[in-house]
Amino acid sequence: MIGTAPIRSRAAWRRPRGRPAAVFLLACVLGLAAWLRLGPIPPELLDSGQSTSTIVLDRHDVPLYEALSADGTRSTRLSAAELPPALVAATVAAEDRRFWWHPGVDPIAITRAAVNNLLAGGTVEGGSTITQQVAKMLLDRRQRSPAEPASPRRRKVAAKVQEAVLALRLEHRFTKREILAHYVNLAAYGNQLVGAAHASRAYFGRDVQLLTPAQAAFLAGLPQRPSIFNPYRRPEAALARQRVVLRRMEAAGALTAEEASLAAGERLTFTRAPAPFLAPHFVEMVLASLEGPRPSRLRTTVDAGLQADIAGIIRSHRATLDRHGAANVAVVVLDNARGEWLAWEGSGNYFDDVHGGAINGPRTARQPGSALKPFTYALAFEEGLTPASVLPDIPSHFPTAEAGVLYSPRNYDGRYRGPLLARQALAGSENVPAVALTSQMGTPRLLRFLTRAGLSTLQQTAAYYGLGITLGSAEVRLDELVAAYAAFARGGRWVAPVWTRSADTGAAGGPREERRLMAPRTAYWVTDILADARAREYIFGRGGSLEFPFPVAVKTGTSQAYHDNWTIGYTRDVTVGVWVGNFDRRPLRDSTGVTGAGPVFHGVMLAAVRRVRAAIPLSDADPIVARPDGLHERHVCALSGMPAGRWCRSRQREWLAGGEESPCTWHQPAADGVAVAWPAEYRQWARQAGLLDEREAPPRALATAGTPRQTARLGSQAPARRRIEITNPPDGATYLIDPTLRREFQTLALRAVTPVPVRIEWRVDGKAVGAASSDAAVSWPLTPGTHRIVARDPRGRTAEATIAVR
C-alpha cells in the first residue's frame, strides 16, 4: 500500500486542475456556510432566555428587586406576536436599519465601522446588528463565571466571531420578529431595568402596548448607552437621542412627516424613580454570582426591613457626611450564628453617578487604620499574653526589613503613656504598643493570622507591609473585615458568610468554609476589652456613638490622611461594619473613627439589634462571648499588671488563668509613702513625665534607657561627661514618615538632659525651632531629608545629633 500512494498522487497532479478544484472550493464554501447557519445553538443559551425576570427576595420573601408588572401575574416577556408596532419600528430605527434584510450580520455596517475605527485609530463603532446583540446578551448570560486568562484584545476578537456565528444561526432558527422579541426582552434600559416591558412600566407607568411613538422612540434609544441616556439624571441627553430615533423612523417610512413632528412635540412625563429596588449592590452581586440558568425566584439572606432602616439612617446623616467631605458610605450587617448577610449597602446611593454610586463599597479594598489592631492582640493572646500584660508606650525605634532603617511609630495624639496594660493599650488604640507586639511576634505571623481570618486582599510579602500592617497600612475589604470580627463574637470560630438561603452551602455551592481561628479564651478577652467603655475612656471619653444600652464590642479605624473612616462592632447576635470615605480617595475633613462612621454605626447597630431581637434588650448584661472555664477573677496592679499588692495605688479586675503569683514589685514602701521602682525601659519616660523619683534612679541609667536594640544598633551616645546631652533623637537614627498618621502628628520630640534643669534652645539645620526647659521637650514636625539638630544651653554649650527622615 505504501508503494501505491506516490503513484496515485502523481496521477492526481497530472489531471487538469480547473473544474474539480472549483467544485471542491464551492463545496467548502457551501459547507462552511451551512455550518455557520445550520450549526448547533447550545440549548442552555435559549433556556436561560426564558426566565429573564428573576425575582430576588429577602429572608422573609419580601421582593428586593422585582419585575415591575403592575398586576404581578402577567408575564413581562413579550412574544413575537405581542410586539407593539411602534416599539418595533423605533428599535429597528435606533439599532439596526437593515435588520429586515441582512442574514444576521450586516456587511455594510461592519465595513463602515471598520473604516471609521481605522480613521479614529481605535474602537468607536461596533457595527453590531440586533441579532448580534441578542447573541452577545445570550453569551454574556452564560459566561458569568470568571473569564479564561487571554489577552483582552484577543478575547474581544474571539467574542466578536462567536457572536457573529451565533447570530447567523439564530437567523436560521427564528423569524425576524422572534429575534426582535428576544432583543427587547433582554436589553438593558438603564436603572437596572431589563426588558422593554419593565422599562415602559417604570418610566411611563403604562403597558408597553400603549406606548405612543414618542415614548417608543425614547425607550428604543436607551439600550445603546443606558447610563448616559438616563432619564432621571440626564433627561436632555435622553431626549436628544429620542429626536435622532424619530428622524430615522421618519426616514424609514415608519412615521409620516406629520406624525414625526407630532411625536417630537409630545411632552414626555416620567413616573418617579423605579419603585422598590432595595439593596441594589447586593442584588447585583448575588445575580452575578449565579452559575447556569437563573431561577425565577431567589431567596437571599438580607432583611428588607433592616435594609430600609439603613437607607433611612444614611439619609438622616447625609448632611453631616457632606460636611465631612464624605460622598460614600458602605454598611454591612452579618448574622453571627448563621453567618448570613442581613444588610448590605454598597455606596449610600446607588444612583449617584457623580460619586461612583454603583461601586460595591464593601468589596472595595481600603486602608483600615486601627481596625486591624484587635487581631494583633488576638495573636499575642494566642501566644501567651493576657489583658494584664504590660506593654511599652514609650518612644521606640523598631528595626525594619531594611538594614539600619528604624521605624518610629507615634500615637494619634503624639503622646506616650509609658507602661500600659494590654487592655488599655487596645481599648485606647495606642499605636506604639501594637507595633511593639507586632515586632515581637513578627509581621509574617500576623500576616498569616490575618489571611486565616479571611482577609483575601493581603497579597504582598511581610517585608512589603512591614510593622505598619498592625496600624492598617495594608488594604482590606469591609465585608471580609466584618466576617473576621464575627469570629470573635462566635468565640473564635471563623465562618465564610453566605448570601443565599440554601442552608449550609457556600457562595459557590460547595461545602461551607469554616475554621477555628483562635482559642475561646482569646475571643473572650478581645471582646471583653472592645466592649469595655471604661478602658477606652482615657482616649475616647465616655458616651457618644460607641456606647449602647446593651453590650457591644467596638473598634474604630482611620486611614492615612483621613481617607477612610471605619467603625466595626458586634453583639452576640450581629456584627456591623461601617466605612465612610470617597471612592475617588478624596480625603475627609475633621473626621475620626468616632465622628464619621461612628454615628452611622450607632444607628445601624440599634436598628439591627431591634430587628433581630424584636426589641432593644435593655437589661441584657450577659457577656457577648461566654467566659470559658479555667479563668479566675484577679485583682491586678493597673500599672504593672502584676497581682495587686498592698502598696499598689490603683488596681483593676481581670479574668486570668493560672495560680497566684507574687504581688507587684513596682510599688514599694518608701520613707514618705509609696515609691515606684521603674524598670529600666520606663525610666526615661517616667522622668519626662515627672514621675521618677531621682533619689532612686542612678544617674547613668538615663543614658542607657530606651530599648537595648536601639542602643546596640546606633552605637553609644556622646561618651564624655558633657554638660548637655541629647537623649532624643538618637544620633544617626533614620525615621520613616508614618503613613498611617496625619502629618501634624508626625513630630519628633527633641529632648536633652543637663545636670540641673536649664532652658535649652533647639536648632534644626541652623534654624531655631523652639526652646524649653531641659526636663521638657520641643516638638519638631518630621520633614524628609537629613537634618542636623543642635541643643544649646544658656552658657553656650551645645550637643548635636544628625538624623535622616524618609
Q: Which residues bind Zn ion (CB under 5 A)?
A: 637, 640, 648, 664, 666-667
Nearer to Zn ion, 317 or 667 (CB): 667
Buried b (16+ CB within 10 A) or exposed e, 121-144: eeeeeebbbbbbbbbbbbeebeee
Least distance between Zn ion and beta carbon 679 (Å): 12
End-to-end CA distance of the chain: 82
Q: Would you say 213 or 643 has its CB closer to Zn ion? A: 643
For 213, 721, 724, 769, the CA distances from 795, given in Å and listed in that order, are 95, 16, 10, 19
The answer, yes or no, to whether the previous bond of 729 is cis (omega within 30 of 0) is yes
Cβ at position 635, least distance to Zn ion in Å: 10
Tell me the three cell numbers of residue 102.
Answer: 441582512
Long-range contacts of 649-655 (CB under 8 A, 24+ apart): 649/674, 652/421, 652/423, 654/386, 654/387, 654/388, 654/423, 655/524, 655/525, 655/528, 655/627, 655/631
Name the residue nearer to Zn ion (CB basis): 146 or 669: 669
CA dist., res. 618 & res. 624, Å (int): 14
**What's the closest the beta carbon of residue 675 comes to Zn ion, in angstroms?**
11
**Which set of grid coordinates corresponds to residue 190?**
438603564
- CA–CA dist 628, 486 (Å, integer): 18
Whole-angstrom distance, CA of residue 707 vs CA of residue 557 = 28
**Alpha-carbon dihedral sign for residues 522, 523, 526, 532:** negative
C-alpha cell at 551: 453590650
Q: Match 475627609 to its residue by C-alpha cell.
A: 588
Q: In whole angstroms, give the CA distance from residue 353 to residue 492.
A: 40
Q: How far is the CB of 537 from Zn ion (least distance, A)?
A: 21
Shortest Cβ distance from residue 648 to Zn ion (Å)?
Answer: 3
* 766 grid coordinates: 541652623
Amino acid in position 454: G
- Is residue 135 a contact partner of residue 187, using CB atoms and an 8 Å limit? no
Of the pair 263, 637, the CB lying nearest Zn ion is at 637
All cell numbers assigned to 5: 500512494
Tell the smallest beta-carbon distance from residue 678 to Zn ion (Å): 12
- Closer Cβ to Zn ion, 421 or 434, answer by number: 421
Question: Could you tell me the smallest distance in angstroms from the CB atom of residue 539 to Zn ion?
Answer: 22
**Residue number with CB closer to Zn ion (191 or 652):** 652
Taking the complex as a whole, the smallest distance from the CB of residue 661 to Zn ion amounts, in Å, to: 13
Q: Cα separation of 509 and 158, whole Å?
A: 30
Kindly tell me which of 640 and 710 has the beta carbon lying closer to Zn ion. Answer: 640
Residue 85: partners with Cβ closer than 8 Å, 6 or more residues away: none
Neighbouring C-alpha atoms within 13 Å toward the C-beta of 630:
8
Please state the closest distance from residue 639 (CB atom) to Zn ion, in A: 5
CB of 419 to Zn ion, least distance (A): 10
CB of 697 to Zn ion, least distance (A): 18
The alpha carbon of 97 is separated from its chain's Cα centroid by a whole number of angstroms, namely 45
C-alpha cell at 193: 431595568
Q: Which is nearer to Zn ion, 398 or 666 (CB)?
A: 666
Nearer to Zn ion, 271 or 665 (CB): 665
Distance CA 225, CA 233 (A): 13
The CA distance from 12 to 634, in Å, is: 102
Q: What is the DSSP code string of 277-292?
A: --SHHHHHHHHHH--S
- Which residue number, 143 or 668, has a Cβ lying nearer to Zn ion? 668
Looking at the Cβ atoms of 418 and 599, the one nearer to Zn ion is 418
CB 689 to Zn ion: min, Å: 17
Distance in Å, CB of 388 to Zn ion, minimum: 11
3-state DSSP assignment of residue 319: helix
Least Cβ distance, residue 775 to Zn ion (angstroms): 25
Residue position matching grid coordinates 498592698: 646
Q: Nearer to Zn ion by C-beta: 247 or 651?
A: 651
The three-state secondary structure class of 566 is strand
Q: How far apart are CA 371 and CA 393, in angstroms?
A: 19
Residue number, 49 or 645, with CB nearest to Zn ion: 645
HEC assignment per residue over 168-213:
HHHHHHCCHHHHHHHHHHHCECCCCCECHHHHHHHHHCCCHHHCCH
Q: State which residue, 676 or 741, has the beta carbon closest to Zn ion.
A: 676
